[in-house]
Amino acid sequence: MKKLASIALLSAFVLTSCSDSSSDEFEQGNGEVAQKYITRLQVVPADSSEDTSNLIVNYDSNNKVTSITDGVESTQFQYQNGGLTSVTGDGDPYAISQLYEAPYKGYEVGKVLRYDSKGNPTNVRLFQEGNAGVEEFTAEITYDEAPNTFFYTMKAAGIIDVLDNVELNMNMQSVPQEIIRAKLLLPVNNAIKVVVKDLQGRVVSTVVTAYVYNADKYPTSATVTQTEDGEVYAYTVNYTYR
């Protein structure tokens, strides 16, 4: 997993702005919802020969994320005056969500082409290095009505504040690309289907997610099925909250 590109820049973002745009968009799209914080994501492959993996999120007494670990790599979060000031360790803070890596794994995200009325990115341009050079694709994304499962966990890690401050930075060339990408891709709801097509309109990959929700509209589990190149890969994600 990549490390965040610039810790100093993160500090500057957090300390120079009080933008709340992502929170506004989330609340406008979902209304008042319960605030749940993920403590563990357990990924269980359908193929019994594959290993089960766990992503653990730890918190302090103020409900701030202190660290995230998958048992091998770990990321630590430090705060000052309530804002995120540094991220250290081997892991990537955006692994907290798995929102950005899973649907687009193996691709570079070029641009969001279309959003729906709630602000969810529904059509995204993708690029991939191939044998004949860089190939271009598009991803079409469908969402359900449930609130983004990871939103409040990301907020507890200070990530939402960082993403909001991207909008106020006047020199976008200085902003790490992974932060810009995360801001543009941040959804209001949960993705249930991602269809990747080439420029000729042929489907090259499909990811379908079926959630089991609790009374607060947070998933207790999700079954994910990915089809690509005639191969099918499936796994179950189990969610634990505080």
pLDDT digits (tens, 9 = 90+) for 161-219: 888 876 655 455 556 666 777 778 889 999 999 999 999 999 999 999 999 999 999 99
Candidate ranges 144-148, 154-158, 226-230; pick with highest mean pLDDT: 144-148
How many alpha carbons lie under 13 Å from residue 100 in its C-beta half-sphere? 24
Q: What is the C-alpha separation between 27 and 152, in angstroms, rounded?
A: 11
CA–CA–CA angle 108, 114, 116 (5° rounding): 125
- Cβ–Cβ under 8 Å, residues 218 and 149: yes
Tokens at 224, concatenated? 């994910």
Q: What angle do CA 73, 74, 79 make, to 5 degrees?
A: 160
Calculate the alpha carbon distances from 223 to 33, 108, 149, 178, 237 in Å: 23, 25, 15, 27, 6
Task: Name the H helices within the chain.
Answer: 7-15, 21-30, 101-104, 151-156, 159-166, 177-185
- Mean pLDDT, the chain, integer: 81
Cross-strand partners of 129 = 134
Residue with the bigger pLDDT between 177 and 5: it is 177
Pairwise pLDDT comparison (3 vs 104), residue with the higher score: 104
Q: Would you state the pLDDT for residue 178?
A: 67
> Global pTM?
0.83
What residue type is 217 in one-letter code?
K
Instruction: Among 22-26, 68-72, 78-82, 235-239, name the most confident range.
Output: 235-239
What is the per-residue pLDDT across 169-180, written as a single tens digit (0 to 9) for each?
Answer: 545 555 666 677
CA angle 189, 195, 199 (to 5 degrees): 130
Q: What is the DSSP string of 70-117?
A: -SS-EEEEEEETTEEEEEEESS-GGGGT-TTHHHHTT-EEEEEEEE-T
Instruction: Assess contact for 86 and 11: CB atoms under 8 A.
Output: yes
Indicate the DSSP class of residue 173. Answer: G
Please state the rounded mean pLDDT for residues 96-118. Answer: 71
> Is 91's pLDDT higher than 80?
no
Lowest mean pLDDT among 5-19, 99-113, 168-182, 206-220: 5-19
Q: Which two tokens stand for residue 236?
A: 């179950």
Residue 16 or 25, more confident: 25
pLDDT at 15: 31
Residue with tokens 């990301």, as numbered in its chain: 154
C-alpha angle 102-103-109 in degrees, rounded to nearest 5: 110
